A = this chain, B = another copy of it.
Amino acid sequence: MSAYKEHSRLLLAVDCIIFGFDGRSLKLLIIERGMLPEKGKWSLMGGFVQQHENTNEAASRILTHLTGLKDIYMEQFQVFGEPGRDPLARTVSVAYYALIDIGKYENQLSKDYKAEWVSLDRIPDLIFDHGEMVKAAKEHLRYKAALHPILFELLPDRFTIPQIASLFEQVYNVELDRPNFMRKLRSTGLLVKQSDKDKDGSKRGAHYYVLNRDTYKEKVSSFLHFITQL
């Protein structure tokens, strides 16, 4: 372990921008920080990368620890490494965003961490550069979700098309033409219509759909345009 002696070592952390959807609105999961510095302030969930694990494993561990869920959709999107970002020690952080159906979330660590779902447009000040991380995560999410159907990761097993539309509208901050959006969604072959309806959102009720997991797995990693043959 004395190799590369002349080079300085540093701490490597992972921070998670956890997006959640409860069927109505898009939220962010943040915690009240339990350690110094900045103890008691709002923060993203994070942790240090351990000796025996890679960064994906660290992110998984941290996500499971906070939410109680396994196999959460997550994506590494950017390294934040300004020298002074953590005032106590040189710490470089690998940022991940994660997508969760809030209905599946188990508030298992309410004792260890004070975790809270906050609306995306009412995010309090966060420690360090976490605010910047959230902003970058939103951009990455927009980018990715414009080409890949990952927003389904936020939805419950049974969902309605108006719910998806509302989710897209919140992510992109636009109003969609519902008729056209509906057709586009159905043309993907990702949706399996159910016979029953959700009556909460409207009088008439909207049909439930479930995701066709097989075509989903295919389409998550396709969807390109500029070069149309591939």
Contact = CB atoms under 8 A, between A and B. Distances in A.
Contacts of A229: 174
A1 B50 CA distance: 19
Interface stretch (A25-33, A60-68, A81-89, A98-106): A81-89
A7 B227 CA distance: 46
A8 B50 CA distance: 7
Contacts of A145: 226
Given A55-B92, A146-B226, A225-B147, A49 B10 contact: yes
Interface string A200-230: 0000000000000000000000011111011
A225 B229 CA distance: 16
Contacts of A94: 79, 81
A34 to B, nearest CB: 14
Main SS class of interface, A = loop
A122 interface: no
Interface in A38-95: 48-55, 76, 78-79, 81-83, 88-92, 94
Interface residues of A, number: 43
A79 B96 CA distance: 11
Contact of A4 (B8, B54, B79, B88): B88
Given A8-B51, A147-B147, A174-B227, 17 more contacts: A3-B88, A3-B89, A4-B88, A7-B11, A9-B10, A12-B81, A49-B92, A51-B83, A53-B83, A54-B81, A55-B81, A55-B92, A146-B227, A147-B225, A172-B227, A223-B226, A225-B225
- The 10 A-B pairs of least Cβ separation, nearest first, read A9-B9, A3-B88, A146-B226, A54-B81, A3-B89, A7-B48, A55-B81, A146-B224, A225-B225, A146-B227
